[in-house]
Amino acid sequence: MSPLELRQRCHTIVPGHRPHTAAEDFAAMAAWCEANGVEHDLYGEGALINGFERKIAELLGYEAGVFMVSGTMAQTVALRLACEARGSRLAALHPSAHIVLHERSNYQLLDHFDTLPLGRPHRPWTVADLKALPEKLGAALYELPMREIGGVLPAWDELKAIKEYCSTERIHLHLDGARLWEAAAAYGRPLDEVCAGFDSAYVSFYKGIGGMGGAMLLGNADFIARAANWAKRLGGNVWQRSPYVVAAARQFDERLAAMPRLLERARQVASIVGDFPELTVNPATPQCNLFHVHLKVDEAVATAARDRLARDYGIWLFGAAQPGMLAETSYFEWYVGDNLLALSDGQLREFLMLFVAELARP
């Protein structure tokens, strides 16, 4: 049985938001459209999509935004345009950046820009790391928070120093804001203050917001106009984007308002996990509502224990176990959403006890 089939059979999903059936999602979207008089867009033009673009741009403090079908498209376009404008093909990226790890070298194979590694693999990069690069940079990308290393964030003063240095040196600073909503809650600052100093930003609508997909790229009006043209060249000018926009817009305000509660719950959950010596939370105190749980077994053992928990008890504990830095260690990611918010501390402890027992099975 595949992991997806196993997950679908479970009555309890621990990480993320409560899953809905396609019928439930489409029914809720239809009701929202009926209540709000929503009409489809036509190739990205229409009251719904353009109004949503203006709303997000104003919220984040940018002149304009354009809705795109994926973050992969949005960020590739952003860095290509940034490097062209600055006269350098070099974009500095942390080794854990999504563009480096998960996009199959699209920037390289499609000749968009060139990359330089920035900072140490398991720490947020600093202004000192940026200054140590001798090359003339066109752009630098910062992911807030940094998912692949445990959802960590740079200190606020460090981030300010990075923004000031990039401005002085005319380096286009781009924000990978796939989880910007979570980062703003962690900093305890409004979204436009977090984004101030970033020349452009990308945000996602299917992660923390819980939509069906879609992203937005934000910047000044000229930058966004050029980005929209590049989206067309890359096949992103689909006939109607309204399903993705509706899925995000109908719950955006509610999801955004919940972020501080999710951060508080993440820290409570991490404290409970810390009571089990077989499990180690990284970072020890979560900086946002996403963190890693490290195990003293390899990923095959962790996955087998997860699958037995799912098959025998109907509990889906995590998505994918990843190999750790040390031999015979692994880790998994927890995003604290609706599910862990609703789960009692007692239930969580019970699930973890079952999981630890499964880990110990020969």
Instruction: Assign residue 111 the CATH number of its domain.
Output: 3.40.640.10
Residue 361 has pLDDT above 90, yes or no: no
CA–CA distance, 298 with 317 (Å, rounded to integer)? 16
Tell me, yes or no, whether 270 and 225 share the same domain: no
User: Angle at the Cα of 300 (from 296 to 305), degrees rounded to 5?
Assistant: 75
Among the listed residues 151, 120, 117, the one whose alpha carbon sits nearest the alpha carbon of residue 133 = 117
Q: How many C-beta atoms surround the C-beta of residue 191 within 10 A?
A: 22
Question: Does residue 171 contact residue 79 with C-beta atoms inside 8 Å?
Answer: no
Distance between CA atoms of 67 and 49, rounded to whole angstroms? Answer: 7
Single out the residue in 231, 250, 269 at which a domain terminates: 250
Q: Is 48 in the same domain as 178?
A: yes
In a domain, 114, yes or no: yes
Instruction: Provide the CB-side half-sphere exposure for 66 (13 A, CA).
Output: 27
In a domain, residue 33? The reply is no
Kindly state the percentage of the chain with pLDDT values over 90. Answer: 92
Q: Are residues 208 and 294 in the same domain?
A: no
Position 111 pLDDT exceeds 80: no
- Given a contact cutoff of 8 angstroms between Cβ atoms, the answer to whether 257 and 208 are in contact is no
DSSP 15-54: SBSPP--HHHHHHHHHHHHHHHT----BTTBSHHHHHHHH
Domain of residue 291 covers 3-19+256-359
Same domain assignment for residues 42 and 8:
no
Q: Establish if 32 belongs to a structural domain.
A: no
How many structural domains compose the chain?
2
CATH number of the domain bearing residue 299:
3.90.1150.10
Q: Could you tell me if 162 and 154 are in contact, meaning their C-beta atoms sit under 8 angstroms apart? A: yes
Question: What is the per-residue pLDDT for 109?
Answer: 59
| 303 inside domain | yes
For the segment 241-288, what is each residue's pLDDT rounded down to a tens digit?
999 999 999 999 999 999 999 999 999 999 999 999 999 999 999 999
Q: Of 199, 233, 250, which one is at a domain's C-terminal end? A: 250
* Within a domain: 198: yes
